[in-house]
Amino acid sequence: MLDNMPRGTICIEDIEMGMTRHLRKQVTDRDIELFAEVSTDRNPVHLDDDYAQDTIFEGRIAHGMLTAGLISAVIGEQLPGHGTVYMGQTLKFLAPVRPDDVVYAEVKVIGIDHAKRRVTLECHCAVDGKKVLIGEAKVLAPSRKFD
- Taking Cα atoms as reference points, which of 135, 57, 142, 123 lies closest to residue 96? 57
Burial 78-107 (b: 16+ CB within 10 A, else e): bbbbeebeeeebebeeeebbbbebebbbbb
SS3 74: helix
If you count them, how many residues does the chain have?
147
Mean pLDDT of 107-119: 97
Q: How far is CA 83 from CA 22, 47, 139, in A?
A: 18, 34, 10
Residue type, 111: G
* 101 contacts 112 by C-beta, under 8 angstroms: no
Mean pLDDT of 44-64: 98
* 74 contacts 21 by C-beta, under 8 angstroms: yes
Domains of the chain as residue ranges with CATH = 12-140 (3.10.129.10)
pLDDT score for 7 = 64
What's the CA gap between 93 and 70, in Å, rounded?
14
Model confidence, pTM? 0.92
* 19 contacts 121 by C-beta, under 8 angstroms: no
pLDDT at residue 2 tops 80: no
pLDDT score for 1 = 31
Q: What angle do CA 128, 130, 132 make, to 5 degrees?
A: 110
pLDDT score for 3 = 44
